Amino acid sequence: MTGLVFCPISRAQLSGWASGGILPGRHRGYAVTAAMTEAFGLSDPEDAEYTALSIASIAGLLAHGERVVAVLELDHRPGDDEFGAVEIADPGYAAVTALFGEDTEAGQATEAAVALRGMTLDQAWESVTAQALLAERDLLWYGPAEWRSFDRA
């Protein structure tokens, strides 16, 4: 199936990927799948994509301590995971259609990363901390060529 995959990455991974063209290895992304839309009770495609982006952003906090999400259009095999988890291997940067990340005021996300440390995605998703972050702090959209915007420290 070809579709959008929302892949949480670190800023360091993004820099190497954009510079080198390939993100080596296997990576977990999140896609709009039948299992995900059923689990979340979604019927609107835009709501489903926003939910997949939100899931990826929380997964990024857990894995990298930051919310950086690359959106790729590529082939993937949908599974039965309620969060829409899919595995991708050695994705090329040419498949990236958009990037999402925090604005320069990342304090709330940093605090959330500390509070969520050690949780599973399911536990983090259900937490008041993650839900408040999602409700109060939208991610900013960037084009694939704007990856250097993430080099700010």
Q: Tens of pLDDT along 19-64?
A: 889 999 999 999 999 999 999 999 999 999 999 999 999 999 999 9
The string over 88-113, giving b where at least 16 C-beta atoms fall within 10 Å of a residue's C-beta and e elsewhere, is beebebebbebbbbbeeebeebeebb
152 pLDDT higher than 70: no
The 3-state DSSP class for residue 39 equals helix
153 pLDDT higher than 50: no
Quote the distance between the C-alpha of residue 55 and its chain's center: 6
CA distance 77 to 82: 14
For residue 63, the tally of other CB atoms under 10 A from its CB is 15
- Using one digit for the tens of pLDDT, what is the confidence trace for 103-139? 777 888 889 999 999 999 999 999 999 999 999 999 9
